[in-house]
Amino acid sequence: MRTRRLGELDVSAFGLGCMGMTSAYGPAAETGEMITLIRHAHDLGVTHFDTAEAYGPFANESLVGEALTPIREQVVIATKFGFNIDSVTGARGPGTNSRPAHIRAAAEGSLKRLRTDRIDLFYQHRVDPDVPIEEVAGAVSDLIAEGKVRHFGLSEAGVQTIRRAHAVQKVTAVQSEYSLFWRGPEAELLPLLDELNIGFVPFSPLGAGFLTGKIDETTTFDATDFRNMVPRLAPEARKANMALVEAVKVIAEAKPATPAQIALAWLLAQRPGISPIPGTTKRHRLEENLGAMEVSLTAADLAEIETALSGIEVKGERLPEAVLKMTGL
């Protein structure tokens, strides 16, 4: 596994997004199997593992902490704060909460669940409109000074928010959705990250599974799967958006590779300071995703992809309206 640099933090080119192991994509997977999967990812060269207190809440951090304890000194653990979650009970309240006292309580809780003495990358999960970003950056800066956090990150933040935060405490990485299915960050976000030497961590790099080619308009998601609420993954939108997947399939067959591998290789080719975090609960999908490292896309390949997709308009918003309002993009 080759490495990438996020700001001043070295990570594996691909990380592992762990959210779906305990939430969002249906019932939680079996804990023992997920511990084995996380450790297998490390055996294959993954050193970058992404979680959050909100995934569960708390269950995902506990899983990741247990899985990585034997190899803690060999990995980078990224987690997130910023929702209104009681740090003791895990009760979820409405909206966001990035008050400095709450950030500190969240950090202490995460450290315990992750079974570690420091958080390598601590993201604000969503920007809190009620707390100036300078106060958030200052609170994380204090945690860095105390050795409890190593690096500061922002998730789904707008460019002005990033600039203001970076002026107080260097932002190491920004996490936002980015894939062949959603290219919104290209307009303003990615140029800013290049300017400020901030790394980029794309989540949903496979479009919540859509770019694998294994989902079509007939696919039924579990009742608890968040994709049931995503406009661009509604059955009619999926039917229209299959044109995108078919175009990727044609390119994949010529390499040869799988559609997922083309989508992930395309992301790696966009810039050096990028580490996508595809998630999975299946060993063969993990190995397929990491196999994208061996897919080389030339300038001609990238131009072919651009041409093939240029006339395809993705139907539907990437997130429900209420969730979109919480992003800065």
For residue 123, indicate whether it is catalytic: no
Q: Which of 193, 199, 194, 133 is nearest to 169 (CA)?
A: 133
Maximum CA pair distance of the chain?
A: 54
The angle subtended at Cα 202 by Cα 70 and Cα 130, nearest 5°, is 95
Query: Which amino acid is located at 295 in the chain?
Result: V
Helix (H) or strand (E) holding 237: helix 235-254
For β-strands 9-12 and 83-85, DSSP reports them as unpaired
Sheet with strand 76-81: strands edge to edge? 16-17, 48-50, 76-81, 119-124, 149-155, 171-177, 199-203
For β-strands 171-177 and 149-155, DSSP reports them as parallel
Residue positions annotated with a catalytic role = 55
